[in-house]
């Protein structure tokens, strides 16, 4: 669990967050560039904005990166969901990026 605090007021956090990281073993991943043996690196961040002692907006961010050690990321998936203090959905954003070329 992490806390975001302003530089001049360490006792009153403006947000708190949970961060989880996971790495899986290699799997075959197909992208427009070809098929690769890639590791799945995923992270989840649950960020809650604090308003005084009350709960504010919450942002849930999930990222998955498929990484080939000698090339780097070949595929990235992103999902962001924003909720109001009562848990109502304020919006969702997602994107998927796949490798079509490699620059050295």
Long-range contacts, stretch 11-15, CB < 8 angstroms, 24+ apart? 13/50, 14/49, 14/50, 15/47, 15/48, 15/49, 15/50
Res 104 pLDDT > 70: no
pLDDT tens-place string over residues 38-65: 999 999 999 998 876 667 889 999 999 9
pTM score, whole prediction: 0.75
């Amino acid at each position: 669990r992490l806390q975001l605090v302003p530089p001049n007021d360490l006792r009153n956090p403006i947000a708190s967050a949970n961060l989880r990281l996971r790495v899986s073993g290699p799997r075959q991943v197909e992208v427009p560039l070809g098929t690769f043996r890639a590791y799945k690196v995923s992270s989840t961040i649950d960020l809650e904005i604090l308003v005084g002692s009350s709960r504010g907006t919450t942002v849930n961010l999930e990222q998955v990166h498929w990484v080939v050690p000698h090339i780097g990321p070949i595929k990235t998936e992103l999902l962001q969901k924003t909720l109001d203090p009562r848990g109502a959905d304020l919006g969702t954003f997602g994107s998927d990026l796949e490798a079509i070329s490699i620059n050295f």
